[in-house]
């Protein structure tokens, strides 16, 4: 007579199957967020930065993610509005993201870094340069130098190398944490180098503007250089109005002005414009060539400075998450790994999370931004 098998023996196949299913189940993903203005007037900056982040995440997932876990990316449009940015941050916190890449402008960063501190959420900025966040023990780290460095570098270059003596400035108050800081540093350095600021004028791109009248006011001061610290749309509009009145005065823009959209909208009016920059479109390094080709294939247009620095910011974050995917101690893990190898060279980061990145002088030639110094 056959004896019934013990219960445990009969259940063994079921237990083995359950263990196998658990072992094969996909691990919980590592969630990160992106925040930037991907609609409205500043959309070119936000969408290009978003694309750089997306590409970094896609590449990392192709290699297995971080710590054996896939990465998911939640994208929020802050519309360059502080209240919408605060709401976007709250949503990302509620979704359980480990960190947030962004925002993309200094004024939005100034508005939400205190909120991020209270939430214990790390922000990793690629294009945020405001000196107002420099040297602070907060939940913010960046892959780019400060506005003070860019404004002063531009002023020295225009005085020492190009020899301009009379500069007029126009700057956008919609991102005043960047533009006012940039204009102040530019003015201070330009004057200390023996130049004169003949006109300094703020405007607000969020309201209707008479660009022709503003251009006329700038030119009344008889400058030999007009500097525009604004987004690419307003940079192009001002260039056109200035060129209609004066074809000889030299035009210059801050780094924020120098996206691909400047050439698309400005056309011949922006030819010869000088722009201080922190990336080299003609970089021949293998790392940049590979990145640029992949970006062009994926999105159909040049990455620009925002795509490069956002890609770097994402990889800096993902490297730290690969070491340990927990939110706790994340900033410290990033700082411990410095200097970070970016797509165009090493990026130094200090104990506060402020970065040093090489600065170049570029010029618009034949519809392209070319490094000239």
Among the candidates 277, 293, 325, a domain finishes at: 277
> Do 204 and 193 have their domain in common?
yes
Alpha-carbon span 313 to 311, nearest angstrom: 5
> Do 300 and 233 have their domain in common?
no
What CATH number corresponds to the domain at position 110? Answer: 3.40.50.2300
Rg value, the chain, Cα:
24
> Do 263 and 217 have their domain in common?
yes
Determine the pLDDT at residue 9: 47
Nearest to 47 by CA among 261, 206, 257: 261
Handedness of CA 272, 273, 278, 279 (dihedral sign): negative
Residue 336 lies in a domain: yes
pLDDT tens-digit readout, 252-272: 999 999 999 999 999 999 999
> Do 87 and 39 have their domain in common?
yes
> Do 294 and 240 have their domain in common?
no
> Do 235 and 178 have their domain in common?
yes
> What 3 state SS string does 319-352 have?
HHHHHCCCCCCHHHHHHHCCCEEECCEEEEECCC
Residue 247 lies in a domain: yes
Residue 240 lies in a domain: yes
Determine the pLDDT at residue 10: 55
Determine the pLDDT at residue 8: 44
pLDDT tens-digit readout, 62-117: 999 999 999 999 999 999 999 999 999 999 999 999 999 999 999 999 999 999 99
The arrangement of strands across the sheet holding 360-365 comes to 196-203, 166-172, 225-229, 250-253, 274-277, 360-365, 368-371
Residue 369 lies in a domain: no
Q: Using 50, 70 and 90 to split pLDDT, how confident is the model at 16?
A: very low
Model confidence at 220: pLDDT above 50: yes
Q: Using 50, 70 and 90 to split pLDDT, how confident is the model at 231?
A: very high
Q: Using 50, 70 and 90 to split pLDDT, how confident is the model at 15?
A: very low
Determine the pLDDT at residue 41: 84
Contact 186, 164 (CB under 8 A): no
Residue positions counted in the chain: 373
pLDDT tens-digit readout, 24-75: 456 899 999 999 999 988 899 999 999 999 999 999 999 999 999 999 999 9
Structure tokens at 12: 């063994």
Among the candidates 244, 259, 277, a domain finishes at: 277
Q: Which residue has the higher pLDDT, 21 or 263?
A: 263
Contact 277, 313 (CB under 8 A): no
Provide DSSP, 66-127.
Answer: BTTB-EEEEEEE-TT-HHHHHHHHHHHHHHT-SEEE--SSHHHHHHHHHHHHHHT-EEEESS
Determine the pLDDT at residue 20: 40
> Do 218 and 258 have their domain in common?
yes
Model confidence at 22: pLDDT above 60: no
Determine the pLDDT at residue 6: 53
Alpha-carbon span 319 to 336, nearest angstrom: 11
pLDDT tens-digit readout, 302-332: 999 999 999 999 999 999 999 999 999 999 9
**Range list of β-strands (E), the chain:** 30-36, 71-77, 99-101, 122-125, 140-142, 166-172, 196-203, 225-229, 250-253, 274-277, 340-342, 345-349, 355-356, 360-365, 368-371
> Do 252 and 202 have their domain in common?
yes
Residue 368 lies in a domain: no
What are the CA-CA distances from residue 23 to residues 18, 20, 70, 248 (Å)? 9, 5, 16, 71
* Helices 106-119/176-192 angle, 10° precision: 120
> Do 122 and 209 have their domain in common?
no
Among the candidates 250, 277, 304, a domain finishes at: 277
> Do 250 and 194 have their domain in common?
yes
Residue 163 lies in a domain: yes
Model confidence at 344: pLDDT above 60: yes
Residue 7 lies in a domain: no
**What is the rounded average pLDDT for all residues in the chain?**
92
Domain span including residue 221: 148-277
Contact 303, 292 (CB under 8 A): yes
Q: Which residue has the higher pLDDT, 343 or 13?
A: 343
Q: Which 3 state secondary structure label does DSSP give 155?
A: helix
The number of distinct structural domains making up the chain is 2
Residue 1 lies in a domain: no
> Do 322 and 265 have their domain in common?
no
Contact 278, 305 (CB under 8 A): yes
Which run of H or E residues covers position 318? helix 304-323
> Do 172 and 255 have their domain in common?
yes
């Amino acid at each position: 007579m056959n004896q019934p098998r013990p219960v445990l023996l009969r259940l063994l196949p079921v237990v083995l199957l359950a263990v196998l299913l658990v072992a094969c189940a996909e691990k919980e993903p590592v969630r990160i967020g992106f925040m930037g203005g991907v609609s409205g007037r500043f959309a070119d900056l936000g969408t290009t930065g978003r694309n750089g982040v997306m590409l970094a995440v896609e590449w990392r997932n192709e290699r297995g993610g971080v710590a054996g876990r896939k990465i998911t990316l939640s994208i929020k449009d802050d519309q360059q509005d502080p209240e919408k940015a605060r709401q976007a941050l709250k949503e990302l916190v509620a979704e359980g993201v480990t960190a947030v890449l962004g925002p993309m402008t200094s004024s939005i960063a100034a508005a939400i870094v205190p909120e991020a501190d209270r939430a214990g959420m790390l922000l990793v900025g690629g294009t945020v340069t405001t000196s107002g966040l420099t040297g602070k023990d907060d939940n913010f780290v960046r892959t780019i130098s400060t506005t003070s460095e860019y404004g002063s570098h531009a002023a020295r270059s225009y005085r020492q190398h190009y020899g301009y003596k009379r500069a007029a400035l126009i700057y956008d108050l919609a991102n005043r944490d960047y533009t006012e800081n940039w204009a102040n540093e530019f003015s201070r350095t330009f004057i200390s180098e023996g130049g004169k600021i003949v006109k300094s004028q703020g405007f607000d791109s969020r309201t209707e503007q008479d660009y022709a009248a503003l251009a006329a006011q700038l030119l009344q001061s008889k400058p030999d250089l007009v500097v525009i610290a604004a987004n690419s749309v307003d940079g192009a509009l001002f260039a056109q109005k200035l060129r209609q009145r004066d074809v000889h005065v030299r035009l210059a823009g801050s780094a924020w002005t120098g996206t691909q959209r400047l050439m698309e909208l400005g056309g011949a009016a922006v030819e010869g414009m000088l722009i201080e920059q922190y990336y080299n479109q003609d970089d021949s390094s293998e790392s940049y060539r590979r990145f640029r080709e992949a970006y062009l294939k994926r999105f159909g247009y040049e990455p620009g400075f925002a795509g490069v620095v956002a890609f770097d910011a994402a990889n800096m974050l993902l490297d730290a998450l690969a070491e340990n995917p927990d939110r706790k101690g994340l900033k410290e893990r990033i700082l411990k790994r410095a200097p970070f190898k970016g797509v165009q060279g090493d990026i130094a980061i200090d104990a506060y999370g402020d970065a040093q990145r090489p600065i170049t002088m570029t010029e618009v030639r034949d519809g392209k931004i070319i490094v000239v110094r």
